[in-house]
Amino acid sequence: DSGVTQTPKHLITATGQRVTLRCSPRSGDLSVYWYQQSLDQGLQFLIQYYNGEERAKGNILERFSAQQFPDLHSELNLSSLELGDSALYFCASSVGGVGELFFGEGSRLTVL
């Protein structure tokens, strides 16, 4: 158990809908990262927050947004969902600085 908690574990929804994925980082970790993993693309970095502030953006679509709250949990909002958004979404946390990331179990999103 990495100490990073993600909910929900599984989510099935329809095209055009909006969903919110939630992540609670390890105790003491200030950085939260969101990654998307699909079969052919591997782990793709989406966005990172550090102590409530956005620090880096990767290949995140405009339909997606995220935030980190004062209690350091983070939410990833996915809207106007398309079939291609079906993937495993991981949250990871770290203390910050140079070091390994600790991953949650992921949220598997299926868009029908």
Partner 1 sequence: EDKVVQSPLSLVVHEGDTVTLNCSYEVTNFRSLLWYKQEKKAPTFLFMLTSSGIEKKSGRLSSILDKKELFSILNITATQTGDSAVYLCAGGYPGAGSYQLTFGKGTKLSVIP
Judged by CB under 8 A, the residue of 7, 20, 26, 50 near partner 1 is 50
Judge whether 36 and 104 are in contact, CB under 8 Å.
no
Nearer of residues 61 and 88 to partner 1, judged by Cβ: 88
Q: Does 25 bind partner 1 (CB under 8 A)?
A: no
Q: Does 12 bind partner 1 (CB under 8 A)?
A: no
3-state secondary structure of 83: helix
Stretch that binds partner 1, among 16-24, 63-71, 77-85, 104-112 (CB under 8 A): 104-112
Beta-carbon contacts of 77 under 8 Å, excluding residues fewer than 6 positions away, are 18, 19, 20, 21, 64, 65, 66
Bridge partner residues of 111 (DSSP): 13
Residues that bind partner 1 (CB under 8 A): 2, 4, 31, 33, 35, 41-45, 48, 50, 55-56, 88, 90, 94, 96-106
